[in-house]
Chains A and B, each alone.
Chain A
Amino acid sequence: MIGLTESIQPLLALLCPALGSILILISGKRPNVREAWTLLASLFQFLIILSMVPIILKGERIESYLFTMFPGIDFGFRVDAFGLLFALTASSLWIVVSIYSIGYMRALKEHAQTRFYFCFALAILGAVGVALSGNLVTMYIFYEILTVSTYPLVAHEQSSEALFAGRKYLAYLLTGGCFLLGAIALTYSVAETTDFRPGGILTGTMASRSMFLILFVLFIIGFMKAAYMPFHSWLPTAMVAPTPVSALLHAVAVVKAGVFGIVRTVCYIYGIDLMRDLGLGIMLASFAALTMIGASLFAIAQDNLKKRLAYSTISQLSFIIFGVALLSPMGVMGAMIYIPFHGFMKITLFLCAGAILVASGKKDISEMAGIGRAMPITMLAFTVGALGMCGVPPVAGFISKWFLAIGAVQSGQMVFLALLLIASLLDVVYFYPIIRTAFFEKMPQDEVLKEREAKVALFSKKTEIIETRRPLYYFILLPIAITASFSILFCLFPDLFHIYGLAQVAIRDLFRGW
């Protein structure tokens, strides 16, 4: 019997960004105060979420229900191990990105910064709300808050390109939201509840097989935030957003909310057994494998660094879907810990891309020859992240891929193992050129000449280190260093922040007796 603890901790965790956003709006005229609020809110939120971990590790759940919306659907939160995993990821990275945004936004003298911080806090509210929700309807409410609050961030630049990206973003995600609402209503009419339960809620209901299939398709389309192919193109377009947005929202909060929703659907709405009975696992895994490999191929062709990272994200997100679709304990485990690990690694990569943009103004990979010598810390961190993506130890990506591989073996489909390895190999193919260009290629000759004319003495000794040229840049370097070192630490100590422990608790719930 799973113990339930009534607590207001989930509410407090959501109150932080809610209150934070209001305070940010009020103190919009004073940048220092405004950014202090952001930092405070993120710090408090992280601590509150961290304080829930011990209770969950004991195998209990934290509940706080506010009111009943419909019979069988309460507005409220039920924190379980998997939800907490996502909440931990989002809130811990919010701190890091808040620090980074201060450096980034000020260095680039961006406009409308108050709007930026305000919407950012709201987006975090949405993401953490999704993570902690106890049922589909509550989750949907936060899911839509996340969608809408991210729009001003995507269209931040207000150029016609940014506006187009924003429109596309909304069109895709709100269409997805409509499908999701339909799916939720249908689920409710079939199961008379939408709670997340480890065994699923649809088992034993009167719906026909084809009904289950249609419902599943509706759910998958609904979670369009997961950016699987062919509904992925909003994500690369949204890369016109400022880098902190691309980093946190399009590597962690928004896209992970989509993947999170798919995992929730598979494991907690359908349940592993029903998925197996219907044969949906293999279908979903094949579908995800398509994106895993397809997006990697697209990534190879991108010259814009952020776009390449975006395609990499698309591919990696499908690893998670793939993992859960294997329906084997280790596969699901791999998928679950992929969420925080990939979050940390991908955010490192994005932050590096932003740092390069701030310090040197370069966006395209072809311009980045020799940048490794001008920005050693940044590019070192980038290398760590890239190695992690490829699954090389000792970076966190290795652990998650390792579990996925075991999961593929457990599921008995050797084809899937092969697909996984091919996809990982492709990761190397598109990350290696970046590192090679950055470290082993010389800066273009004519540029060197020009610089020589300007400052002969300086260049003849060594390349100028541009990443620490201004004190403000330390705000950018510090977060990069933090996330990169955590990416390594997570491999050496997977139980840091109890990530491994939480995933184990979740697996124990899902696969009883395993």
Chain B
Amino acid sequence: MSSVVEHFPVLVVVVSLLSAITIFIAGWINRKTSCYISIATLLGQFIASLFILHHVMTIGPIYYRLGGWVPPWGIEYVMDALNAYVLVILLFLGLVCVIYSKRNIEHELPQKVVSFYTIYQLLITGLCGITVTGDIFNMYVFIEITCLSAYALIGSRGKIALKASFTYLILGSIGACFFLLGIGFLYAVTGSLNMKDLSILLPPLYGNRVVLAAFVFFIVGLSIKMALFPLHTWLPDAHAFAPSEISAMLSGIIIEISTYAFIRVAFSVFTVNFIKLLPIFEIISWIAAIAIIIGSILAITQTNLKRMLAYSSVANMGYIMLAVGLSTSASHYPWSGLTPAGMHILNHALMKSCLFLVAGAFIYKANLWEIKDFQGLGRRMPYTSAAFVIAALSMIGVPPSVGFVSKLYIILASLEAKQFVFVAVLLLSSLLNLVYFWRVIETMYMKVEEGTERTHTSHVPRDEIPLSMLIPILTLSSLCILMGILWLMKIPIPILSRVNVLFGLVGGP
């Protein structure tokens, strides 16, 4: 007897796609409905993803054959521990951002509400598709859907945002081309597009130059998509000029989904055996280490909060890729294999989206972009600022926040790999984080304009953002601490251990 949950992978994608069309039509009649439809859809999807995760953890992977076609001929959706986990993160974040966006979009893009939500829902469709699919060409299609909707959303403010969007369009398309080339090469030698099928057909061909070239194409293509240094140049502008909830989605999940795609390609299409043949992961870890340092240094030089956060994302992609790079050499539970990488995907999503939403709140309330203008915000918007402080402390890695746990796990993994340089890089990076985040906190709370009276009686009028924007921010920031404690208690670790077992990376309690 098959459970209804086994149909959820395809439903998550299809419902989202249908919802996009519904929003477009319903929005014609009444513009106000579009946001609610979007919230309802995402809520449904999020609940469905929880069911999927539960099913995967208790019963086992879900294989869904589209149209009943038997793979490798038909497209197959495969849910295992990794993508079930990523799907939950992605839909949770999507939900949080869409709740936040209601007031913000009415304020920022009053004329484009309907199209915003339509494209937003398409973006979610694309992201879900990348996650659930077990077919590599299908993955490419969804990557394109995601990116096309992201271009539109980034450009939605017009003016300079259009330029940012265009840069992203060009670079993103180049990245996608590389990805497609990789697929083509693999198809040429194996004649298959199903990931599982490929992983069976490929091992005899591991020495083949075409296969090697394909792997390199995948790496380069996805590195552009995930803004891994030095291919990060599109990211700062795109993040800075997009509407804030889109920045949060971009930084929190869109670039991270590319790391997911990378992990999927590296471990599901190719396998651990292939990776161990080449020093490729070592090279990736070193590039990632450089990305961490350069990203942080560039963040320090920024004066615009959102640009600063964007460069911080470059550094954090470095964290994830460093953790991925170390995954083959770390085998001790609990920091074995992909655990630190998977952990940081969630942690970075929480921290960075919280920070971007706060940045959006400042823009919403007072049109504040530059860090130096933030004086007195600590009193004016106490809850928003407190959320920022928590998320920033988390980025710095103050225990017991999520940032601390990620840092600790990656450090332990690099120690096991005997890579002491990476330990130093991680520690240095948390100091650099301190430098650029503390500047903001200091301005918000401590800096006082010359000549103002500093007595306990002076009260700045409170000017908080609406509740529908505040609740998402506070949820994310409290999760920064809560998840940190949960990680330390190792409650979500079994999911990631399952991933390691799945990919043949040793580890497990």
B340 close to A (CB within 8 Å): no
Interface flags, B413-440, vs A, CB<8A=1, else 0: 0011000000110011011001000100
- A23 CB-CB contact with B under 8 Å: no
Would B455 and A174 count as touching, CB distance under 8 A?
no
Determine whether the beta carbon of A174 is less than 8 Å from that of B446.
Answer: no
Q: How many residues of A sit at the interface, in one of the four size bands?
A: 35 or more
The residue on A at minimum CB distance from B458 is A111
From A141, A167, A186, B399 is in contact (CB under 8 Å) with A141
- Are A158 and B454 neighbours in the complex by a CB distance under 8 Å? yes
Residues in chain A near residue B415, CB distance under 8 A:
185-186, 188-189
B434 lies within 8 A of A189 (CB): no
Q: Are B448 and A69 in contact (CB under 8 A)?
A: no
- Check B114 for interface membership: any CB of A closer than 8 A: no
A123 at the interface (CB under 8 A from B): no
Residues of B within 8 A of A59 (CB): none
Nearest Cβ distance between residue A170 and chain B, in whole angstroms?
6
Least Cβ–Cβ distance between B210 and chain A, in angstroms? 41
- Complex CA–CA separation, A109 to B393 (angstroms): 30
Residues from chain B with a CB closer than 8 A to the CB of A71 are: 332-334
Q: For chain B, what secondary structure do more than half of its interface residues adopt (helix, strand, loop), or is it mixed? A: helix
Cβ proximity bits A156-197 to B, threshold 8 Å, 1 near / 0 not: 011100110011001100110011011001101100000000
Complex alpha-carbon distance, A70 and B333, angstroms: 8
Please determine whether A181 and B447 come into contact, CB atoms closer than 8 angstroms. Answer: no
Query: Given the known A-B contacts A69-B490, A174-B396, A178-B430, are A158 and B448 also in contact in the complex, defined by CB atoms under 8 Å?
Result: yes
User: In the complex, what distance in Å separates the CA atom of A68 from the CA atom of B491?
Assistant: 10
Residue on B nearest A113 in the bound complex, by CB? B456
Contact (A182, B488) CB under 8 Å given A144-B399, A163-B446, A170-B434: no
| Binary contact track A338-382/B, C-beta < 8 Å → 1, others 0 | 000000000000000000000000000000000000000000000
Answer whether residue B400 sits at the interface, using C-beta atoms and an 8 A cutoff.
yes
Residues of B near A159 (CB, < 8 A) are 448
Check if B369 is an interface residue, CB within 8 A of chain A: no
Q: Which of A162, A178, A188 contacts B412 (CB 8 A)?
A: A188
- Give bound CA distance, A189 to B411, whole Å: 10
Least Cβ distance of A143 to chain B in Å? Answer: 9
By size class, the interface of chain B is 35 or more
Interface string of A100-115 (1 = CB under 8 A from B): 0000000001111100
Q: Please judge, given known A-B contacts A170-B438, A178-B427, A181-B408, whether A155 and B446 are in contact too, CB under 8 Å.
A: yes
Q: Measured between C-beta atoms, what is the minimum distance from B406 to chain A in Å?
A: 13
B370 within 8 A of A: no
A67 at the interface (CB under 8 A from B): yes
Bound complex: CA of A122 vs CA of B391, how far in Å? 18
Classify the interface of chain A: helix, strand, loop or mixed: helix
Contact across chains for A179 and B399 when beta carbons are under 8 A apart:
no
Residues of A within 8 A of B431 (CB): 174-175, 178
Q: A180: nearest residue on chain B (CB-CB)?
A: B427
CB nearest neighbor in B for A141: B399
**Per-residue interface assignment for chain B, residues 330 to 356, with 1 indicating a CB less than 8 Å from any chain A CB and 0 otherwise:** 001111000000000000000000000
Which residues of chain B have C-beta atoms less than 8 A from A67's C-beta? 488-490
The yes or no answer to A152 lying at the interface (CB within 8 A) is yes
| B334 cross-chain contacts in A, Cβ below 8 A | 70-71
Partner of B427, one of A66, A113, A182: A182
Q: Which of B333, B407, B411 has most A Cβ within 10 Å? A: B411
Cα–Cα, bound, A111→B456 (Å) = 4
Contact A166 to B456, CB < 8 A, known contacts A67-B489, A178-B427:
no
CB pair B427 A179 closer than 8 Å: yes
For B489, what are the chain A residues with a Cβ–Cβ distance below 8 Å?
66-67, 69, 75
- Can you show 15 pairs from A to B with CB atoms below 8 A apart? A70-B334, A71-B332, A75-B489, A111-B455, A141-B399, A155-B446, A157-B454, A159-B448, A162-B446, A163-B442, A163-B447, A167-B438, A174-B434, A185-B408, A185-B411
List the 10 closest pairs (A to B, CB-CB), nearest first.
Answer: A141-B399, A178-B427, A189-B415, A111-B456, A67-B489, A185-B411, A111-B454, A69-B488, A158-B448, A158-B446
- Can you name 19 extra interface pairs (CB under 8 A) apart from A112-B456, A174-B431? A67-B489, A71-B334, A75-B488, A109-B455, A111-B458, A113-B456, A141-B399, A152-B445, A152-B446, A157-B454, A162-B446, A166-B442, A166-B446, A170-B434, A178-B430, A178-B431, A181-B408, A181-B411, A181-B427
